[in-house]
Structure 1
């Protein structure tokens, strides 16, 4: 019996944000706010809901909500299908919110990058800090 083990890599971004978790949760789960910091979407906060994230680059990600714990955890698939299967990405993004004395520790982990997916991995490593910066701008604007 042959067993195939595929190593995958993860991208993790953590940031302490000076806002309560309830406010950050709204920005993570309300479609009009998600569109402001991440991408256009048809998100709904319900386990099993399938939605798309549409990027300015013309592509779309196929997503499905996997887990929701209001104000503390949100997880969904983050899948990209390409004409060239080598560029297909099957990953999962999980946001964890932990209250702190000055706000909330927001942790994002994207898992599932195969070793040969250097471009997708590099894109995620470069992209998520920018998304977080956008998120912080949105949070500063909303009540």
Structure 2
């Protein structure tokens, strides 16, 4: 069995709104990283950064798919290498219309194919467990603004 992280979250907003929240740097900074610099177009290379006590940890990634309002996907870039199936993991946000809202299906896959450590898998699992639940409350505040 291949290690993967999969979550589903129901969000009370249209897929068009949720897509912007999971794909645009301006919105990402409100629920996930402290810094985000990229264009939400396939092939775009970018970075996200997390402030830590000893500075900012910056991680690169490459956007693979940007299909509003259905799917946003990227691969992490490790060690300055071009992201491939053999050296990186894949993050996908799939958005499904659901009774006036959106079902967000999140997955991070490819840990085994890329030879990633149990430590990285555990770190990403706990990270997503912390950050993903922040999406729905952020969207609720966003759609409630006059």
Instruction: State whether TM-score is above 0.5.
Output: yes
| 2:51 corresponds to 1:56 | yes
Q: Give the CA RMSD over aligned residues.
A: 2.0
Deviations 1:109-131 (A, max 9, x none): 11121366111111222111221
Identify unmatched segments of 5+ residues in structure 1: 1-6, 83-88
Spell out the pairing of 1:127-142 with structure 2 (5 A cutoff).
Answer: 127-142=127-142
TM-score, structure 2 length as denominator? 0.80
Q: Contact (CA 8 Å) 1:60, 1:80: kept in 2 or not?
A: no
User: How many residues in Structure 1 have an aligned counterpart in Structure 2?
Assistant: 131
In structure 2, what is the equivalent of residue 68 of structure 1? 66
Q: Contact (CA 8 Å) 2:75, 2:90: kept in 1 or not?
A: yes
In structure 2, what is the equivalent of residue 42 of structure 1? 37
SS of the aligned residue for 1:122 comes to helix
Identify unmatched segments of 5+ residues in structure 2: 81-86
